[in-house]
Each structure stands twice: as C-alpha cells, then as structure tokens.
C-alpha cells in the first residue's frame, strides 16, 4: 500500500482537515492521527509505509514540544516502539 492509498483509506480519521488538504498532510499529522484514532493494524501499516527512522524523527520532534495533541498512552507506545526498533 502506498502512502497515498493509506491516507485515502483512513481519510475519515482526519475529521477536521479540509478534504482537499488531506492528501497533502505531512508525516507529523499522519502519525498523530493514526496513533490517536487509528487501529493497531493502522499503526503497523503506517510503520511499514514511513519506516522506523521517520517514526523516530517525528517522535523526537514532538517530545521537544511543551504542548502536544497526543493521547498520553499513545505517545508512550510510540516512545517504546522507537526505542526498541529505531535505536
């Protein structure tokens, strides 16, 4: 599955983004929405598409912020995944 197909399949998760803007979302937004609102299979598919190095980059960028939009448990899960597989 390509990134574009994955985004189209999960377009319903991007509920407050305008439809015409959804195909153009960056990996930061994609990771946030999939981890917060997607299924476990969606998370696994996302990692296959963007790879562990990109997931780690997104994780490191968001952990530097004071305010985040992640559900705390999902942020913890992302941290565990990146520490185990992307280190």
Q: How do residues 3-40 score in pLDDT, each as one tens digit?
A: 999 999 999 999 889 999 999 999 999 999 999 999 99
Give the C-alpha separation, 14 to 75, whole Å. Answer: 18
pLDDT of residue 67: 66
pLDDT of residue 43: 97
pLDDT higher than threshold 90 for residue 49: yes
C-alpha angle 73-74-76 in degrees, rounded to nearest 5: 65
State the pTM of this model.
Answer: 0.89
> What tokens does 53 get?
């190095």
């Amino acid at each position: 599955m390509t990134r574009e197909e994955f985004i189209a399949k999960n377009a319903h998760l991007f509920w407050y983004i305008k439809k015409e803007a959804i195909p153009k979302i960056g990996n930061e937004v994609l990771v946030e929405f999939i981890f917060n609102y997607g299924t476990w299979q969606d998370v696994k598919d996302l990692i296959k598409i963007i790879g562990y190095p990109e997931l780690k980059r997104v994780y490191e960028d968001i952990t530097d912020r004071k305010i985040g939009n992640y559900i705390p448990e999902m942020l913890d899960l992302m941290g565990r995944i990146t520490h185990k597989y992307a280190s």
